[in-house]
Structure 1
Amino acid sequence: MDFAIFDQTGTKPLIVIETKPLGTDLKARAQQLARYLSQLPELHFGIITDGCHYLFFGDLDNPNVMDPEPFFTFSLEDTKADWAKVAKFLSKFSRDAFNATTLITDAENSRYRQGMIDKLAAALKAPGEHEAFLKWLTEDIYKGKRTTAVMERLADVAKEAIEPTLLRVMGDDFLNKLKERIQRLNEGAEPVAAQEGANVVKPESAKPFEAESRAQADEKGRPAVETTETELEFYRAVRDICVKNGYVADDILFRDTANYFNVSYKRPTKWFARFFGNGKRKSIVTWVPVEDARAVAAGFEVEASPAALGTSRVYIESVPQVWALKALLTRSLELSKTAREDSPAADAAAQDETKPALKVVTSG
């Protein structure tokens, strides 16, 4: 073996490492590791590398019989790698943290998790091709005879149900992390963008995110929050509309986030207007049902909002148009008072409630 890492007594090998020339087919040469694992009862981990690509093998299925597939891999030339996760994984092999038993469990969990991801992804992409999944999904919903035509129909309905289901379970925290990951992937792909046929993910193409990059990220990589004059103009217009309808100005609050600008009543969880003002198109999300919103926002483009963000979305060209939506905003304010606290959109606001609400009071 090229390298062996022993326990603190220096008698039991815990990890073996095989090194090969750059560009070697590592999986094809991994049988050397299999021989070591079969001959040394205390050995459960082997690594093979060409200096750029790293494959981690174990004996998860049968003790001292190396699994045919690695349980973890990474490559230094992978521009899309999540290096924080790679570092976290590698830290488990440090001298102070190494524990063969827990590492085996972690490796098993990682493999199970990836298997579940692959299986769920395949079923969600094509539910009609996974009969057991489709049967489980519809067993309490459809009680009739399941002919071929019926199953094809249910498969089409299931496919239509998947997107709104995912949006319902996606909270704002999840969406923020997804946007950060899309941005990282895009930044990592920039060096090859000029290659013919390169497929680069553009952050602005990922719905429901409208906002472009608003500011530099903080030291933890999270999007920084920068309140713009347009957002403050929006707040002042909404506040003045509310005052003209009998509300107290001090009760109309705002809170800015990395993805949208909230206006709420008395406390942050009682938001009634979400302004998306930094993207190519400006829009307002409210609690008003779509059909009602279309009725009171005649002349404006109205659509259903992703469930994680609110109920309806109205597109505007500029902030002054907010005054033409005063009926929509006051209706949303009333609905916010009875909005479910356990809804995804309300949960997002609740995450900020521990922070002091930002309040702006201006004369006139």
Structure 2
Amino acid sequence: MEFSERLRALGTKISNQAEAIGTEEATKNAFVMPFISSILGYDVFDPIEVVPEFTADVGTKRGEKIDYAVMRDSEVQILIECKTSRSALTLENASQLYRYFGVTNARIAALTNGIIWQFYTDLDSPNRMDSKPFLVLDLSDIDDVLIPEIQKLSKDDFNLESIISTAEELKYVGALKREIAAQFREPSDEFVRFVATRVYDGSFTQRVREQFSVLVAKAAKQFLTDQVNDRLKTALGAGTPVPLSQTQSDASVDSGSVAEHDLDRDTEIETTLEELEGYQIVKAIACAEVKPQRVTHRDSKSYFAVLLDDNNRKPIARLHFNSARQKYLGLLDEDKNETRHAVDSLEEIYNFAENIREAVRRYQ
């Protein structure tokens, strides 16, 4: 299994088990140790590689312990401090991590609740842990951009120089992305004024501020939706004309299959953007079990089918979105008997994630 696949598999496991984990010890056993073992590649049961309850006297502090110290060549490389999976991560709750960083050879420190991993180094002042992480990994929502950087921390690919050289850019780009996301979710007064004064020429009164607070939030959401829709259209080739030369080439290769396809095709079928968005959600869920390219779709008059390997004998789900009154997600059992589930929004498809994955597993 490739590194990215292992990372996503752990992310899926964490999403499924998060509600059942309530203590720090359970968080370590279910989330943190599997990350150290299957993702970073260190043997958590070998004290030469991973030291649990690592102890080092720091000034007047005696006998304090850090949860894990990852070792390489008998020296500490990564310090890991754990909190419960339901805890918010703040440096105020990780004072040991801050102190230990300065008295060991470690250049990397991690603060985690098993779901979110915050990685720190000493960019601002040598041998003194920064107050802000250079990399934040959310295993419930993995950012593909970060996967190569996480891999640099693994045992087989550990590259401290490369990590440190890219840490500053990662630190500020990541912080900027989080700040932009926060402003899009709930625009601050400063952001509202910054944007509004570029489109509104009048005096920026309290009434105008209140009016534009609503408008800026609405415009931000519509902008993100437009960006997602454009990506979907590009990924699925919607609206992309087929070059004449390609059509002629396909016909010359296998005119029989083309003719058969034309007989089955109903020219009155109209695939909607909402169906494509629903397909992308089902595909994202199914990708926990199979490679993305194996999940395909076919549209018909009665429903929009999501299939494995473009095989109508391997249905994953059906989207019944043609009715203006109620949308349904169709799920099939082992005997291909379909049960329709009413969904009021596309996000509700995620409520059936395990059913979708189970459908995929049946064909493996």
TM value normalised by structure 1: 0.41
Greater length-normalized contact order (CA 8 Å, ≥ 6 residues apart): 1
Which protein is bigger by CA-based radius of gyration?
1
